[in-house]
Amino acid sequence: MMNSEGKSDSEMVFRDRAEAGRLLADRLREYQDRNALILALPRGGVPVAAEVAAALNGELDIVIARKIGAPGNPELAIGAVTSDGTVLLNDSLIAGLRVGKDYIDRAVNQVQSDIRDYIRRYRGDRPAPEVSGRIVLIVDDGIATGYTVMSAAQAILGKDPEELIIAVPVAPRESVSELQQSTGSKVVAVSTPSFFVAVGQFYKDFKQVSDEEVIEALEGHRKS
């Protein structure tokens, strides 16, 4: 498929997260005006999800999931944790790296503490939104290995949504396939490049999103 600049979707580079969100929303029009719950993965997923929520006339909130980094290499995810206690571990990678149970237990406890801090910061005293019986879209600015979003999806599936959709601007083809198989959920991606190093390579502007921007987007959507 060719975009407006004459490039295939697999070659697409987004101007910023807002543009990526608008293009993603175009792929999700079937969920417009259906009381969809759009759950962003902070922080980078929030600007994308805000555009999706606005276009679909849906409710915007967050789902917190954080990766467990490998010893000596925190960017390499050996698993992920969500705020409701869901822990997803890459057993084969853990075995290959010979990561001990004590390390994993400490890491899980630390990540759970960090998640509680994020929830207080972003949601305050507001209760979590109702999930049961609703169409739920989990949105991030992109997927690399997929372990973080997979953990979030497993947590949401345990709350009995009517349908769960994982939606991102960009993800490698193998990650899309793995997510579909592991969660049984629909995965929507604007771009599925065959050559993938990092999410940031598909954005011209990929600056870090601040806590203040996350809070502003969430509060702004609630007031609109």
- The DSSP secondary structure of 162-185, one letter per residue, reads SEEEEEEEE--HHHHHHHHHHH--
What is the fold, at CATH topology level, of the domain defined by 9-66+122-223? Rossmann fold (3.40.50)
What band does 48 get if pLDDT is binned at 50, 70 and 90?
A: very high
Instruction: Please state the pTM of the whole predicted model.
Output: 0.88
Cα pseudo-dihedral 214, 132, 84, 217, rounded to 10: 0
The upper half-sphere exposure of residue 110, i.e. CA atoms within 13 Å in the direction of its Cβ, equals: 9
Q: What's the CA gap between 161 and 10, in Å, rounded?
A: 31
Mean pLDDT of the chain: 91
Tens digits of per-residue pLDDT, 78-107? 988 987 778 889 899 999 999 999 999 999
Q: Please tell me which residue, 38 or 128, carries the higher pLDDT value.
A: 38
- pLDDT single digits (tens) 164-188: 999 999 999 999 999 999 999 999 9
b/e 104-134 (16+ beta carbons within 10 angstroms → b): beebbeebbeebeebbeebbeeeeebebeeb
Q: Can you tell me the distance from the alpha carbon of 173 to that of 167, in angstroms, rounded to the nearest whole number?
A: 13
Q: For residue 35, what pLDDT band results from cuts at 50, 70 and 90?
A: very high
- Res. 11: pLDDT tops 80: no
Residues 151 and 63 sit within 8 Å (Cβ to Cβ): no
46 Cβ contact list (under 8 Å, min separation 6): 40, 62, 209, 213, 214, 217, 218
Beta bridge partners of 37: 59, 136
Instruction: Show me where the domains of the chain are located.
Output: 9-66+122-223
How far apart CA 162 and CA 82 sit, in angstroms, is 21
